[in-house]
């Protein structure tokens, strides 16, 4: 009899067994020596929660808004590439689970299912994440397609104009679609559930790129294709051009420095995502949670601040909210659920984090996500936690 799934790490272990190695490790691993990947978790663990008792916490409220959109609790699903290769139709399954849970879902440019496929299959509008590529005409087309699909926000990812080397992707020969080698065939043959899902999937290549950019359906390696297509000339001035194309909510992802946060606020961005790309870009960068307090101070309430990278539990989400984040985004936790059990696994991951947040709020004497503050946090030695600089 299988053990019950009680936390995100249980979903990770199940996904590891069910998803071919190349795709599981694409979701699971980081760049270079993975210092930042592991640092994200360690930084959250170094922050402790202040336990309180004898406080009436019977009536608790988790509801909020994120980028102007109502949410049942302060969580959104981050844009993740190759989602549909964790599980057939993965983007559709993730968007459905998010809609049912009442939280935002963000579709990646590098998704397997296209904008149109996801929109046709889900009941609610979703966010769309865009990378700026050398072919600006294609970027314009992507934004227009997002408008046609009635996407409720556009997320511009700013920290991947050049890709940090991810050793496991090279060692695994990651490509889309997968290369046919003896090793890959054996790996897939051991996972018939995954293979059957792929055969039934609406798409197995990059749905948003297929037929529009040369080589998108026959990549040598993902890293080589990104190097040839993504535009390292991206600057703050490009925000003016994007704003002309996109009249709705604009979210900027990849902010890790207070000065960049101040510039984003001055440029009129609606929200930023404090993110080190899950430890998959600049290795040696700080943990996202470590730079959050200073960024919150820098923007001074001029826009919403979301946090990504390292949220794998309700406790880590609570810590981010207490430090001033409007909401958290999950990438790895989402993909673990998807790879483990498809849509039901995504639902399970969301519910695990929601329940942990709810219980942890109560045990710290809190009833409303909008009333959280650093007062509920302690340093690892038990001293009061105000900011990292205090």
Is 64 inside any structural domain? yes
Q: Tell me which residue range forms the domain holding 372.
A: 8-378
Is 68 inside any structural domain? yes
**pLDDT of 177:** 62
Is 124 inside any structural domain? yes
Determine the average pLDDT of the residues in 240-262.
Answer: 97
**pLDDT of 175:** 67
- Residue 277 a catalytic site member: yes
Is 386 inside any structural domain? no
Whether the per-residue pLDDT at 180 is higher than 60: the answer is no
- Tokens found for residue 360: 């942890």
184 CB-near residues (< 8 Å, 6+ apart):
20, 22, 173, 178
Is 198 inside any structural domain? yes
pLDDT confidence band for 27 (50 / 70 / 90): very high
Q: 307-320: per-residue pLDDT in tens? A: 999 999 999 999 99
**pLDDT of 229:** 81
Is 290 inside any structural domain? yes
**Closest of 332, 279, 311 to residue 28, by C-alpha:** 332
**Closest of 7, 23, 87, 12 to residue 332, by C-alpha:** 12
Helices (H), the chain: 8-18, 21-28, 35-45, 90-101, 115-121, 136-148, 167-171, 182-189, 192-200, 222-229, 238-245, 258-266, 288-299, 314-322, 332-363
| Residue 247 main-chain phi, psi, to 5 deg | -85, -10
Q: What is the CATH number of the domain that holds 70?
A: 3.20.20.70
Give me the numbers of helices (H) and strands (E) for the chain, helices first please. 15, 12
**Closest of 121, 332, 81 to residue 207, by C-alpha:** 81
Domain total of the chain = 1
Q: How far apart are CA 236 and CA 240, in angstroms?
A: 8
Contact indicator for 345, 11 with CB cutoff of 8 Å: yes
Is 1 inside any structural domain? no
27 CB-near residues (< 8 Å, 6+ apart):
15, 19, 80, 82, 86, 331, 332, 335, 336, 339
- Count of residues in the chain: 390
The 10 Å CB-count burial string (b at 16+, else e) for 308-337 is bbbbbbbbbbbbbbbbbbbbbbbbbbbbbb
pLDDT confidence band for 389 (50 / 70 / 90): very low
Q: 74-128: per-residue pLDDT in tens? A: 999 999 999 999 999 999 999 999 999 999 999 999 999 999 999 999 988 999 9
Is 233 inside any structural domain? yes
* DSSP letter string, 43-61: HHHTSEE----S---SS-B
């Amino acid at each position: 009899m299988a053990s019950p799934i009680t936390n995100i790490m249980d979903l990770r272990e199940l996904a590891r067994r069910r998803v071919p190695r190349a795709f599981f490790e694409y979701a699971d691993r980081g760049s270079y020596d993975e210092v930042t990947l592991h640092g994200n978790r360690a930084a959250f663990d170094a922050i402790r929660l202040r336990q309180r008792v004898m406080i009436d916490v019977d009536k608790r409220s988790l509801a909020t808004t994120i980028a102007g959109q109502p949410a049942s609790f302060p969580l959104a699903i981050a844009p993740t590439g190759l989602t549909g290769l964790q599980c057939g139709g993965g983007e559709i399954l993730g968007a459905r689970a998010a809609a049912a849970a009442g939280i935002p879902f963000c579709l990646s440019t590098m998704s397997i299912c296209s904008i149109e496929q996801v929109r046709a299959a889900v009941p609610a509008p979703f966010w769309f994440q865009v990378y700026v590529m050398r072919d600006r005409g294609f970027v314009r087309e992507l934004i227009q397609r997002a408008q046609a699909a009635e996407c409720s926000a556009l997320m511009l990812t700013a920290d991947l104009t050049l890709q940090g080397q991810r050793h496991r992707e090279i060692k695994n020969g990651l490509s889309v679609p997968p290369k046919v080698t003896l090793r890959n065939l054996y790996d897939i043959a051991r996972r018939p559930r995954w293979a059957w899902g792929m055969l039934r999937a609406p798409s197995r290549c990059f749905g948003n790129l297929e037929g529009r950019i040369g080589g998108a359906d026959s990549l040598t390696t993902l890293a080589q294709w990104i190097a040839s297509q993504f535009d390292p000339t991206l600057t703050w001035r490009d925000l003016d051009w994007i704003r002309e194309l996109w009249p709705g909510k604009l979210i900027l992802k990849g902010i890790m420095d207070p000065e960049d946060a101040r510039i984003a606020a001055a440029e009129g961005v609606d929200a930023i995502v404090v993110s080190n790309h899950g430890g998959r870009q600049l290795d040696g960068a700080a943990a996202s949670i470590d730079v959050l307090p200073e960024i919150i101070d820098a923007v001074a309430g001029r826009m919403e601040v979301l946090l990504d990278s390292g949220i794998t539990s309700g406790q880590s989400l609570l810590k981010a909210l207490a430090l001033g984040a409007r909401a958290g985004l999950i990438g790895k936790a989402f993909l673990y659920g998807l790879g483990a059990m498809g849509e039901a696994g995504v639902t399970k991951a969301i519910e695990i984090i929601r329940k942990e947040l709810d219980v942890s709020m109560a045990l710290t004497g809190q009833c409303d996500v909008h009333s959280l503050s650093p007062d509920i946090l302690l340093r690892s030695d038990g001293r009061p936690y105000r900011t990292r600089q205090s």
